[in-house]
Structure 1
């Protein structure tokens, strides 16, 4: 697979501004533009403007025509698979089949407390994710689903007419541990990491694919950057992309610049980087 370059556009802009940002991502040639699926996020974003992921992606679908759109990532922290599947099916329809759904197990941040409960332990998060992913997969594939689980159930849940993309929208699973990697190899169309040096994680993913009898070449491997040092030139990014490609990474995701945050980057540099990689 050839290396692709994508971006993450945080949902921090009123739509009068955001519409041009999403259009620009398409004009630059980005493969996809994702957004975070949180109700609020870490500082400095917690008390600032932050819109919902599903309405944002729906609106983005109406101002773009080629760009793939997606969550990076959605989690069980405040989502139930049944209403989530209905929303995702709807976005896939509005976008004409351009949706990719990144999913993860969630964490202990603001979203974990916003509904009034104590954050789950790591084991409970893993247990919930182990139910969440298979049920979401089934809901997105089948017109009617009934299933009873410990944490998530569905009773005659209708998903008609179903996804534009068949058999369902692609699922990209963010995972590092054995249980998460097993879910990625069984249900994922792609796998997501934020590691600066993903070599060890990719090796573990390959081992999980071998255990599952799956060809790892059929699984997209996505690196979400921005959580560690990044090159300061387009040439540096080209070199980074080349090294990742040698490891088997298929998609490099760079955050749309947000001044005065960890995602600060000169806008001109960002656009030159994207252009150099597309």
Structure 2
């Protein structure tokens, strides 16, 4: 999704971005879409002292799936997202993202490798208040790839803003954006690296119905482009799941899994 918009940005910018299109196309040609699951949790437990936050959970997610991870507060949803994102290691079992498998004794290098494959939209969004919308994305890209050409970084950032409908607010600071726009900016920051996996922790929290629908439609569009999307939320969307898969967690245990979404004929 970002690459297509990026090519439009390159076409507008002309010779100033000469050579960038070839680099983007070369990078895309190296990306192989796996045919099997891109996320696989096997017998995962996560303990914090005597508290078991995740208790023997197993499920997998394939490219193009949008999965709603639901359950009450403190059920273990956020912990599961952190395990998938590589912020936590399992106490037992394993978490596989592509070909990276993380277990209890895995080192920091393996966790960093896992995180590079996953985009994340955090519950608190973690936007930098002293940077405008464009700068927030540029900074995230520079941290991810210190050697990326400056022109490519800024072009990718502008493409990300266009994808989420914020191209006209590139110079707005987070405090000048509505809650819905801040969520879209956080999504843009996560998707500009074109990760194969995106996890989002309560991305529609405290949003009205219209803004929530906009955010969910954006995540649904990413899934349609082949991204595996996992959305954690205490409640299912007011407008329904639109046929997407639901995985329910209660007290750290998987209590329901509707399985892969059925596509309408």
Bin of the TM-score, shorter chain as denominator length: 0.3 to 0.5
Q: Normalising to structure 1: TM-score of the pair?
A: 0.35
Choose between structure 1 and 2 for higher RCO, CA contacts under 8 A separated by at least 6 residues: 2
**Higher share of residues assigned strand:** 2
